[in-house]
Amino acid sequence: MHLHFQTDLHTHTIASTHGYSSLTEMAQGAADAGMKLFATTDHGPGSPDSPHLWHFHNYKILPRKICGVWLLKGVEANIMDEFGSIDMNEKELSFCEWVIASYHTSCVTFRRTPELVTQGYQKLCENPLIDVIGHPTTAMFPCDFEAVLKTAKEYGKLIELNEGSLQWKPGAMENAVQCYGLCKKLGVPIVVNSDAHYHTLVGKYPLSEKLLEELDFPNELIYSLDADRIMELAAQKRGVCFEESN
Distances in whole angstroms, Cα of residue 37 to Cα of each of 63, 69, 191, 224, 241: 13, 5, 13, 9, 13
Classify residue 94: in a domain, yes or no: yes
Classify residue 243: in a domain, yes or no: no
pLDDT of residue 2: 76
CB within 8 A of 39, min separation 6: which ones? 7, 8, 9, 10, 11, 71, 72, 73, 74, 97, 98
Classify residue 167: in a domain, yes or no: yes
Classify residue 82: in a domain, yes or no: yes
Provide mean pLDDT across the span 108-123.
98
pLDDT band at 112 (very low <50, low <70, confident <90, very high): very high
pLDDT of residue 1: 57
**Strand-pair partners of 69:** 66
Classify residue 245: in a domain, yes or no: no
Which domain range does residue 205 map to? Answer: 7-238
Burial class (CB in 10 A: 0-12, 13-18, 19+), 128: exposed
pLDDT of residue 208: 98
Classify residue 1: in a domain, yes or no: no
**Helices 114-125, 145-155: inter-axial angle, 10-degree rounding:** 10
Read off the pLDDT of residues 198-241 as tens digits, 9 standing for 90 and up.
Answer: 999 999 999 999 999 999 999 999 999 999 999 999 999 999 99
- CATH number of the domain residue 109 falls in: 3.20.20.140
Classify residue 204: in a domain, yes or no: yes
Read off the pLDDT of residues 133-172 as tens digits, 9 standing for 90 and up.
Answer: 999 999 999 999 999 999 999 999 999 999 999 999 999 9
Q: How many domains does the chain have?
A: 1
Classify residue 244: in a domain, yes or no: no
